[in-house]
Chain A
Amino acid sequence: MEKVLEVRELSKQYTKVLAADKVSFDIEKGEIFALIGPNGAGKTTTIRMISTLLTPTAGDAVIAGHSIIKEPAKVRECITYLPDEAGAYKNMTGKNYLRFMAGLFSTDIDTINRYVERAERICGLGERLKDKIGTYSRGMIRKLLLARAVMTEPKLAILDEPTSGLDVLNAIEIRKMIKRLAAEEGMSFLLSSHNMLEIEFVSDRVGIISKGHLLVSGKADELKERYSAANLEEVFERVVKGNEIL
């Protein structure tokens, strides 16, 4: 299988904290990979390094053949990033926001129009796209941002806590959307979440991260079997406790 992302011993040292320590994993084309872990585990730091927002202290990651250290500009052309609890420009209409973001990915008007039409179809906000984002609910903003993140057909879409703060129905809708885009269009996803039950449903493979270390990774079913657990939460508990004992 074609590898879209190869993360090799990625580390980030803040002044006092080692937020990520030699994190390594791969994502294949059309695969949904999820980093799971509690708050402060190093998920966002790892994701930010892969998104070229933070410079790694050591290690590297290669996205579609481009190194995040040597070719960050090329990497940014292949990825999209949706931060956790992100907002959008409140004075813009939904449609103008999509057009503005599409204009950052392409200078060709036809391509921009194609991106915007695609996002309009995916977000399902219909006529509300003509309204200012300031009038949207949290769920609507998240749908708009998610559509923005996938409209450019990136090789890798990086979504930090994609359903955080959403009600059950909106969360289900977004999970289905991610699964469909991966299955039908072969888009790869790197997700992060501390909601392990959600991740079990949506992802192909998971990586369990704690205190900056990627402790284990694999398919949810395999991990459950390996650790004789009923769900990912139990897997997580056993992996983390096992590592503490070690």
Chain B
Amino acid sequence: MKFFNLLKKELGELLTAQTIISLVLVTGMLMLMGNLMKSTIEDAVENEYTISICDRDQTDFTKQLIKTLREAGATVDEYESEGDDYPAILRDADVESLVILPKGFTEALEKDERPEMISVGVMKSSAAMSNIANSNSGAIALIEDCISSTFAAKAGLTAEQVDLLQLPVNVNEQTVVKDKSAPVSTTSVMSSIMTKNMILPIIVFILIMFTSNMLMSAISNEKIDKTLETLLSAPVSRTAILGAKMLAAAIIALLNAVVYMFGFSSFMNGATKSVSDEMGSKLVGQYISVDEALDRLGLTLGIGDYILIGAQLFLTIMICLSISLMLGALVNDTKQSQTMIMPLMIMAMVPYLISIMSDINTLPMAIRLVVYAIPFTHTFSAVNNIMFGNMGLFFAGLAYQLVVFAICLFFALRLFNSDKILTASLNFGQKSKFKKSTADNE
């Protein structure tokens, strides 16, 4: 009963209107961004088959070329232009990309020379997604195909021979994972896994930062406001006070995890679905779908796997909370609590970046040991280990995290059950606000 009273109070302290508003805003923003990216990509895909062309050569061949492009299913808009003032040309045509067939294009072809074609595209910003719609790559590929066919026809090749020339070998790609194989390219498996697994490390990273900061501020505020002294002198065990704080923070962390997971899923779905659909159909084509391939390779996660990942994530959060609890108890003011989060931030940042950039198992032994000593590394590599059947490594990581948690909890409990909870502080040469006020009052 007293524990629930404490838990209710801790939840009330952590779940303020600001927290809820920021959660709703973040989710809303992520969903909005997802939709935005989805529409950008859809525009780009649509644009791939819309060609803006300017035929300055005006020969039978170029006219036939444009006709062929139309027959191939592209929407071709023709424009007229002169000179090389490309900004003005694009402005007059009111387009963002334009292909110009210059004078002498056909003549060069007739002389068996490589003709020149001008491709103009607007660049609006350096953002990765902002220039997708301005590319002429689809148009150029189609024109190149047409010209290759013309050359081939001139050389007396049949349509089948042209096709053979363009795709001389049928590559039957097989990917092997442990003792399973599937007819799919490793590239498409990789890109599909990366797309699907992109969310978890981001969520883990945000959660580590968020929960640490939350609990550290909660403890340091209680210490600075001296509400902690009042609590500790009340007839309730210190372990209950500590337990209520940790459980409340864990509940809020879980709530955040669910909300962020939802927000990020909508964002990633919007951002990647159309791309991966495109990629999947092109790369795998006649064989099997990527999802089917993943299933056949044993790279899909079952309910049991998700439970294991969840257990590891929970342990990570608990380690985080017990460390934050100790750091929070050493803090003298709110400003300091923001700097005290640094050690945790580095502990989360290093394995996060490494997990994005490379496989930890391929690092040199010394570095690998250092990285594995960071408890959060095992969370970032959990999905990979489960997916590729490195269960030994996964459970070793889980056991290590359990040991780290037990040690952290032991010290947190000792700190809470000793005088140190009131007297300990890290000063870095500055006199503790808490100790100062204590000394003043003695």
Contact = CB atoms under 8 A, between A and B. Distances in A.
Interface of A: 14, 19, 37, 39-45, 48, 51-55, 73, 76-77, 79-89, 91-92, 96, 100-101, 103-105, 107, 145, 158, 160-161, 192
A103 B2 contact: yes
Interface in B231-258: 231-237
Nearest to B231: A104
Contacts of A84: 226, 437, 441
B226 A85 contact: yes
A91 B441 contact: no
Given A84-B441, A104-B2, A161-B441, A89 B227 contact: yes
A85 B234 contact: no
When A and B form their complex, which 8 residue pairs have the shortest distance between CB atoms, in order from nearest? A87-B225, A103-B5, A81-B233, A86-B226, A107-B1, A76-B235, A83-B226, A44-B441
B225 A104 contact: no
B111 to A, nearest CB: 82
Interface in B384-442: 418-419, 422-423, 437-442
Given A84-B226, A100-B8, 9 more contacts: A51-B229, A51-B233, A54-B423, A73-B237, A84-B437, A85-B437, A88-B227, A104-B5, A161-B441
Contacts of A45: 438, 442
B9 interface: yes
B286 interface: no
Contacts of A160: 441
B284 to A, nearest CB: 55
19 contacts: A44-B441, A45-B438, A48-B422, A51-B229, A52-B232, A77-B235, A81-B229, A81-B233, A83-B229, A86-B225, A89-B227, A101-B230, A103-B1, A104-B5, A104-B235, A104-B236, A158-B233, A160-B441, A192-B441
Contact of A42 (B418, B422, B437, B442): B442
B442 A53 contact: no
B215 to A, nearest CB: 16
Scoring B16, B226, B231 by chain A CB atoms within 10 A of each residue's CB, the highest score goes to B226
Given A92-B12, A104-B2, A107-B2, A53 B229 contact: yes
Nearest to A50: B233
Contacts of A158: 233
Interface of B: 1-2, 5-6, 8-9, 12-13, 16, 225-227, 229-237, 418-419, 422-423, 437-442
A185 B441 CA distance: 29
A88 B225 contact: yes
Given A53-B422, A81-B230, A44 B1 contact: no
Contact of B230 (A43, A82, A91): A82
A3 B440 CA distance: 30
A196 to B, nearest CB: 15
A42 B439 CA distance: 8
A54 B235 contact: no
B440 A101 contact: no
Contacts of B236: 76, 104
Given A85-B226, A89-B227, A80 B233 contact: yes
B233 A79 contact: yes
A87 B12 contact: no
A89 B235 contact: no
Given A53-B233, A81-B233, A161-B441, A87 B5 contact: no
Contact of B13 (A53, A87, A89): A89
A188 B230 CA distance: 18
Contact of B440 (A14, A39, A76, A91): A39
Nearest to A79: B233
Contacts of A104: 2, 5-6, 231, 234-236
B2 A44 contact: no
B419 A86 contact: no
Nearest to A76: B235
A158 B225 CA distance: 18
Contact of B235 (A87, A105, A145): A105
B233 A39 contact: no
Contact of B233 (A43, A44, A52): A52
Contact of B422 (A54, A107, A145): A54
A96 B13 CA distance: 12
A79 B2 CA distance: 17
A87 B229 CA distance: 10
Contact of A87 (B1, B6, B8, B226): B226
A46 B361 CA distance: 57
A51 B230 CA distance: 10
Scoring B2, B5, B442 by chain A CB atoms within 10 A of each residue's CB, the highest score goes to B442
Nearest to A82: B230
A44 B227 CA distance: 16
A164 to B, nearest CB: 8
Given A84-B437, A103-B2, A91 B12 contact: yes
A71 B1 CA distance: 22
A105 B225 CA distance: 21
A126 to B, nearest CB: 23
Scoring A42, A84, A92 by chain B CB atoms within 10 A of each residue's CB, the highest score goes to A84
Given A83-B226, A86-B229, A40 B442 contact: yes
Nearest to A92: B12
Contact of A40 (B226, B422, B439): B439
A101 B6 CA distance: 9
B441 A73 contact: no
Scoring A83, A91, A96 by chain B CB atoms within 10 A of each residue's CB, the highest score goes to A83
Given A88-B225, A100-B9, A39 B423 contact: no
B5 A40 contact: no
B229 A76 contact: no
B439 A39 contact: yes
A105 B231 CA distance: 11
A55 B5 contact: no
A77 B235 CA distance: 5
B229 A39 contact: no
Nearest to A73: B235
Scoring A19, A86, A87, A104 by chain B CB atoms within 10 A of each residue's CB, the highest score goes to A104
A243 B229 CA distance: 33
